[in-house]
Every structure is written in C-alpha cells, then in structure tokens.
Amino acid sequence: MHLSLLKLDKELPTPSRAHSDDAGLDLYARCPAVLAPGQRAVVATGVAVAIPPGHAGFVTPRSGLAARYGIGVVNAPGLIDAGYRGEIRVVLINHGEEPFEIARGDRIAQLVVVPAAVLEVELVGHLEETERGSGGFGSSGR
C-alpha cells in the first residue's frame, strides 16, 4: 500500500520513518514559532496527503518533545479524514515551564495511517448487555 504525498514546500525534508519498522512518519515545521508556557500554535508542515479510502491519518505527538519539553498536540491525535487534501497543520501546545522554540525544519509530530471502519449508523431502542455495562471513568478501580 502507498501513501500519496504532495510536497507543498520542496525545501523541507520528505516525511519519513526514523527506523524502518516505525509506524509514524515524522512531520516537519514549515515556519518557525515560539511557544510560551501554556501557549498553543497551529504549525504548518508543508505537505498534503491522500489517505487511502477505509483509512484515517492520526497526527500524534513526538514522545521526545513531550518528555523533554512538555510539547504536545492539543487534539491528539489530530484526525485526517480520507477525503481531506489540504496542508497538514499541527496544533501544538507547550505544557512545559519554559518557552519552546520551533525552527523551520524541526520534527514536530508524527503521522500514523490506520485502517478505519466506515460504518452505517443504525438507530436502535436498546443496546446489547455486556459485563461492563455503563461503567465509565474509574469503574475498573484505581
């Protein structure tokens, strides 16, 4: 299977995996930015993709940026639907205590493409019972 990728900024590196068996493709910042503590910014990546039908793209944080600097993706994972053809943009947030500088070309997030069932919604009068039932947050204990 292939992912069609359009480079909108030819000078940026092509998104790629750091290791051959990695799931995520590194996405790069198209423009520099500075995130103050608690601040968020929408950062363009300079690429657009054609997610195959029956799949979805998830924009996920980079674990190293999260662990070292507190940088995350606000709506993690950011969802890219199969029909979207615009530039991928990442909503970053600084959860750290220091300002964080993003330089053009820095790796800021990852793109993971996964199968996604496209289901028809069927209205019903009740749902099938399960062992868990309606137990939600904290229902399985501490």
Confirm whether 83 is domain-assigned.
yes
Quick one: residue 126, left, alpha or beta (phi over 0 = left, psi -120 to 50 = alpha)?
A: beta
Alpha carbon 139 to its chain centroid, in Å, reads 29
Confirm whether 29 is domain-assigned.
yes
**What integer is the mean pLDDT of 118-139?**
91
Confirm whether 76 is domain-assigned.
yes
- Residue 104 maps to which CATH number? 2.70.40.10
Whether 96 contacts 69, CB under 8 Å? yes
**What integer is the mean pLDDT of 49-74?**
97
Confirm whether 63 is domain-assigned.
yes
pLDDT of 57 > 80? The answer is yes
- In the numeric block, the tokens 């292939």 are attached to 2
Confirm whether 138 is domain-assigned.
no
Nearest to 108 by CA among 22, 20, 42: 42
Confirm whether 134 is domain-assigned.
no
Give the count of domains, the chain. Answer: 1
Confirm whether 137 is domain-assigned.
no
140: confidence class by pLDDT, cuts 50, 70, 90: confident
- Structural domain containing residue 105: 4-11+21-115
pLDDT tens, position by position, 91-109: 999 999 999 999 999 999 9
Residue at 86: amino acid letter: G
Confirm whether 128 is domain-assigned.
no
